[in-house]
Amino acid sequence: MKTIQLKKHKNTDWEYLSEKINLIAPLVLVFGNRFLLEEDTILDEIRNIFKDGHIVFGSACGDISSESIDDETVTITAIEFEKSTFIIKTANVLNNHSNTKIDSFKIGENLINQLPQEGLKHVFVLSEGSFINGSQLTKGMNAATNDNLLITGALCGDDARFEKTVSSYNELPKPGEMVAIGLYGETLEVTFSINGGWTPFGPERIVTKSKGNILYELDNLPALDLYKKYLGKKSEELPGAALLYPLNVKSNDGNNTIVRTILNIDETENSMILAGDIFENSKVQLMMTNVDNIVNAAEKAAINASEFRKKKPQLAILVSCIGRKLVLDQRVEEEVEEVMEVIGNKTTITGLYSYGEIAPFIGESSCQLHNQTMTITLISE
């Protein structure tokens, strides 16, 4: 595997972060600021550098490279696989749909079904992040593989604006786009891990009314009223403040818990819109964290992802959550530094801050939508 990384700030030329080498038909991952990805020249600029590249775009709440984490930039990571191959397929959730009638399950199932199954080792998915139901998306993707394929990925981001996200393959980035990168190869080794570092607090409450990803009532009381009561003065900063106080959701069987980010609020309905499904009768608690917990969680994720590998990773794709970035603030680079400490500086690091992370629970094979986690995918040939 050979890799190159470049970075671009607004109104500047591309700067090489690594040695400039020629790559043959590389996979070109382009993560960055949504406004910069929407510039008309972006595709031509990258095509001029990588004439035969397979260019995948994804808007981010911050782009991650081996060098730094930045907000107002675009980072390119170009990868030439020497023993493996890849196939890229796309879908768009806006085609033949109104925003209220998107079948996220079917979109996920159809997206993965486009990939030839023979020899398929891993799929990395970049999903639109504005209005997809991430829980249903992952269920659909699992249905296409009978829960028997490692799928990791991200819901694209748009900083804390939540206006729209864009992504694409070999065309200008656009809203509603889903991209699936299928990796194939006998010697390909892919491992992953997730970790959050958030702590539940306050009383456990029962979800008494919900529909899909909309939470209406907890303990038969309006959910938004309760949430505002807990936040106190911080409730004036909603919905942004909600990123710092997500919900811990226990499954009905009690085996797993999922963190759910609150993406928006509806004052008229007294409800909260979450990043994924929340089911009636499940138990929820508020969560909080601090910088040290988040940084330690990133380290644990890197250790778990590295633990049972046969070969050293050549590429690490990091997907972390916008809520973690807001907590880390000026110390945002520390969680990536902890990952590098574990996996070594010879591994190329790329990734993005997202609206949701896609990965299985550790020890399982079917992927889930997570929020507020650091998700690490390690790849070698």
pTM flag (> 0.85): yes
Please give the pLDDT value at position 243: 84
Question: What local confidence, expressed as pLDDT, does residue 148 receive?
Answer: 82
300's tokens: 């644990």
Give bridge partners of residue 179 from the DSSP assignment. 90, 126
> 160 pLDDT exceeds 90?
no
Taking only the tens place, the pLDDT of each residue in 293-350 is 999 999 999 999 999 899 999 999 999 999 999 899 989 999 999 999 999 989 999 9
pLDDT given for residue 345 in this prediction:
86
* pLDDT of amino acid 242: 84
From the list 46, 127, 144, 141, the residue with the least C-alpha distance to 90 is 127
**Could you tell me the sign of the dihedral formed by the alpha carbons of 126, 21, 378, 123, in that order?**
positive
| pLDDT at residue number 254 | 62
Q: Percent of the chain beyond pLDDT 70?
A: 97
Digit-coded pLDDT (tens) for 83-133: 999 999 999 988 765 555 788 999 999 999 999 999 999 999 999 998 888
Q: How far apart are CA 110 and CA 107, in angstroms?
A: 5
- What does pLDDT average to over the chain? 92
Contact indicator for 381, 314 with CB cutoff of 8 Å: yes
Report how far residue 271's alpha carbon sits from residue 265's, in angstroms, rounded to the nearest whole number. 6
CA angle 376, 56, 358 (to 5 degrees): 30
Which of the four pLDDT bands, split at 50, 70 and 90, describes residue 252?
A: low
Compute φ and ψ for 235, nearest 5 degrees: -65, -20
Segment 55-66 mean pLDDT: 96
Between CA 165 and CA 61 the distance in angstroms is 10
Grade residue 253 by pLDDT with cuts at 50, 70 and 90.
low
Predicted confidence (pLDDT) at residue 66 exceeds the cutoff of 90: no
For 291-332, the DSSP string reads: HHHHHHHHHHHHHHHHHT-SS--SEEEEEEEHHHHHHHGGGT
CB atoms within 10 A of CB 87: 15
Least-confidence region, from 116-120, 246-250, 259-263, 304-308: 259-263
Measuring CA to CA, which residue among 268, 271, 165, 166 is closest to residue 211? Answer: 271
